[in-house]
Chains A and B, each alone.
Chain A
Amino acid sequence: MTTTLATTAHAASTGVLREIYERMLERPLPPTYRPAHGGAPGIVVAHSLEPRLIPKVFATSSTLNGAGPLAWPERELVNATTSRLNQCLY
């Protein structure tokens, strides 16, 4: 699938980006968030033009999505509402 800005998928990645993708795949993640294609999720790949940003963005995610006090369904509600208002349909 062609994107508006260039991306590099896991299978085509090399060097620093490859290492970062590999580290991302080792993160503890609920199975429902793991894409069936087995590679990095699209939102991670979306950051591939700036590989060193990826650990910073998703380290933040771990602090917000891996802990309370909001419960998982409440967090998903916040995320879905935010996305709907921003008209992000990813």
Chain B
Amino acid sequence: MPVALSIHGLKKTYANQLDALKGIDLYVEQGDFFALLGSNGAGKTTAIGIICGLLNKTSGSVEILGLNQDTNANKVKRLIGLMPQEFNFNPFEPIEEILINQAGYHGITRADARIQSEILLKKMQLWGKRFDMAKSLSGGMKRRLMLARALIHQPQILILDEPTAGVDVEIRRSMWLYLKELNSQGMTIILTTHYLEEAESLCRHIAILDEGLVIEQTSMKKLLSKVDQQVLILESSDELPKEITANNFSYERLDDNSLQVVLESKTNITDVLQALAKQGVSIDHVRSAQNRLETLFLCLTNKDA
């Protein structure tokens, strides 16, 4: 598979001597949906800033679709669409103008930009507000505007830095669907997020940054297979018996109708449900108490024992 993004020994030391990136290597395949995770201050936004030309690197190299960033800066910029974490548009500009201007910076004529902006604004449910100043939009609308702006020049690589922060559930789900659609059409998407279920459900590969270093880079499947236990919550509409015999699992009684069950990797949920059924306990609902990726993330970054 051709490489969309290749980073070698990327270092960034800020003027205050903070080593934000301590020599990272990163590879993203073309057409991938890639998660770049890390705690606040791990170096994600710095890495994205360097890739997109917003920050100067201290050393190392960045290649986009085989083009070296140092020698092909403008060609590289044409290939990337960035949706940054912070709102970075002029709040006193009408939203359609913001898109048309961004298209113009990429060499797209105003006539073509109007057509493309109409498509994107309708997709983002912002068409009715196209003449409004950007400052009048809600937080979620501003995020959608930035996504539309990132897509206006039809980039091959889309970089999303916390795209759904502050977006309500309904819009978040529709954004996920749209991003999946873009990815299925061949667009490489690199995503940073604090919603780990978002990364788990969207991304096929993942890298975890911690204190300026890549501490894990693998496929999502491989990473999740490392989880050696699962915590589930089992709910019954009937009152649970006072004593439950648990041979192949451990449990904690949460209230009269629900149990929190810890399953080791060898045990599967059917065994547990059968064991409970033999004791006259019928379970109506099963749900995960903890996101698997979250468990791993906390474990890898030593944020949880």
A-B complex is real: no
